[in-house]
Amino acid sequence: MTTRRPCIGVFDSGFGGLTVLKELVALIPDADYIYFGDTARLPYGSKSAETVAKYAVGAAHYLEEHGARMLVVACNTATALALDQIRAAAHIPVEGVVEPGAQRASVASKNRKVVVIGTEATVTSHAYLKALDARGVQAREKACPLLVPLVEEGWVEHPVTEQVARIYLNEAFANGFESADALVLGCTHYPLIKPLLHRVAPPHVTIVDSAESTAMVVSKVLGISPINVPESDERRQAPRLKFFATDSVEKFRRLGPRFLGHPIEDVVHVDLKE
């Protein structure tokens, strides 16, 4: 009989954290996952730290009560603004996305200069800047608020998205940051436009996806080394996925697969009290 790994709770403001879940499932297929998308209250990226912390702590409690034995805060904004409060409120280990992304960028950047893109709230918190500074890396943080709605619209290869990304990145890789050689995707939605960002970013730049980096950190915490991840699909145990959403279940089923990469069935509506 095979034993399954403990249930991993994944939390995000909405659909975007499914990009993190996708990477987790790829590295740790033999786990149960419960995903909480606070779709009724997104976006978090334009909200205050107090509000985000209140919502995030509520979601963390919900996931813990529903069986999570480890919590992954997939939302960059919630990690940047509220990781300490979530850790203090939870009784299980909690991983965020900022430290893994910063660690990966510090390895990737030879020039010790990095550009981080994220929501307004993530940038204003300077969470990435502090995490990179602690590793001796200079960071330029750039808020790219228009990219989230464009990705949710499904415009991942659209000329408008390309034009918007070009304006943001031209501004970020300027005024002393021309030599920055890593670009951190500090928002759950950006992995969907990775090919577009590759085209638009200066050619010498390495893209660091904090979803991938976080999945690697979580697999390490669980004692899984990459060589132990089964290659063939037959040897993998199928992950068990269950989803909770605070807004329309139908909308979650419709939009979620764009982020997760496969169909979503088991979605339950949750009404969290304030």
- Can you give the binding site for ligand DGL, defined by CB under 6 A? 12-14, 16, 42-45, 75-77, 118-119, 122, 148, 187-189
Closer to ligand DGL by Cβ: residue 25 or 42:
42
Based on the number of CB atoms within 10 Å of its own CB, is 257 exposed (0-12), middle (13-18) or buried (19 or more)? Answer: middle
**Minimum distance between the CB of residue 170 and ligand DGL, rounded to whole angstroms?**
22
Residues 6+ apart with CB under 8 A from 88: none
Nearer to ligand DGL, 124 or 138 (CB): 124
Give residue 166's region: left, alpha or beta (phi > 0; psi -120 to 50): alpha
* Alpha-carbon 125 to chain mean position: 16
Catalytic residue among 187, 207, 264, 270: 187
Identify the active-site residue in 75, 86, 102, 196: 75
Judge whether 7 counts as a catalytic residue.
Answer: no
Helix (H, G, I), strand (E, B) or coil at 182: strand
Q: 34 phi and psi, to 5 degrees?
A: -120, 130
Residue closest to ligand DGL when measured from CB atoms: 45
How far apart CA 181 and CA 187 sit, in angstroms, is 19
Spatial distance between the Cα atoms of 259 and 266, rounded to a whole number of angstroms: 16
Of residues 15 and 30, the one with the C-beta less far from ligand DGL: 15
How far is residue 116 CA from its own chain's centroid?
13
Shortest Å, Cβ 134 to ligand DGL: 21
Nearer to ligand DGL, 137 or 187 (CB): 187
**In whole angstroms, how far apart are CA 196 and each of 15, 60, 188?**
20, 33, 16
Within 8 A by CB and 6+ apart from 4, the residues are: 30, 31, 32, 237, 240
Q: Report cis status (omega within 30 of 0) of the bond before 43.
A: yes
Q: How far is the CB of 123 from ligand DGL (least distance, A)?
A: 10
Instruction: Residue 115: count other Cβ atoms within 10 Å of its Cβ.
Output: 26
- For the bound state, the minimum distance from the C-beta of residue 241 to ligand DGL, rounded and expressed in Å, comes to 19
**Residues 152/189, Cβ–Cβ less than 8 Å:** yes
Shortest Cβ distance from residue 164 to ligand DGL (Å)? 16
Q: State the catalytic residues.
A: 75, 187
